[in-house]
């Protein structure tokens, strides 16, 4: 898996300066060594009514990073207690009911 680079405050200031100078997103991405989609996402997430503001963008990015949930790994003992039905058992009844020329609600037993 390829490692990705998170944008720093200096990167955001550079994005702002290059955008003000009239550079395209591809040119900004090449200068920073990131994907053009990274620049596109950055501008979409952090452009407000007053345009792209690097200090505000940095604050918003830090807030999003703090608010993000951390992944929780389950222990093997916990996984043993989780019962997951096989896919065939889950959808077998649904297929039969929908092929009896009834509406989906009737097939679900909600309508006669």
Domains of the chain: 1-85 (1.10.10)
51 beta partners:
48
At 40, list the tokens.
Answer: 């596109």
Query: pLDDT tens, 12-57?
Result: 999 999 999 999 999 999 999 999 999 999 999 999 999 999 999 9
Determine the Cα–Cα distance for residues 86 and 28; give it in Å rounded to an integer. Answer: 49
Spatial contact of 9 and 23, defined as CB atoms under 8 Å apart? no
Query: pLDDT tens, 77-108?
Result: 777 777 776 666 555 555 555 555 666 666 56
pLDDT of residue 78: 78
Higher pLDDT among residues 88 and 58, named by residue: 58
Q: What is the dihedral of CA 81, 87, 90, 94, to 10 degrees?
A: 170
Determine the Cα–Cα distance for residues 38 and 35; give it in Å rounded to an integer. Answer: 5
CA 93-99-105 angle, 5° bins: 70
Q: What is the pTM of this model?
A: 0.60
Please tell me whether residue 99 adopts helix, strand or coil conformation: coil
Determine the Cα–Cα distance for residues 38 and 53; give it in Å rounded to an integer. Answer: 16
pLDDT of residue 29: 96
């Amino acid at each position: 898996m390829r490692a990705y680079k998170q944008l720093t405050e200096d990167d955001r200031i550079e994005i702002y300066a290059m955008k003000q100078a009239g550079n395209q997103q591809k040119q900004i991405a090449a200068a920073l060594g990131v994907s053009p989609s990274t620049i596109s996402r950055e501008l979409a997430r952090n452009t407000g009514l007053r345009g792209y503001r690097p200090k505000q963008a940095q604050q918003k990015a830090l807030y999003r990073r703090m608010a993000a949930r951390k992944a929780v790994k389950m222990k093997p003992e916990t996984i043993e207690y989780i019962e997951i039905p096989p896919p065939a058992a889950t959808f077998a009844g649904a297929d039969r009911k929908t092929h009896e020329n009834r509406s989906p609600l009737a097939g679900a037993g909600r309508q006669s």
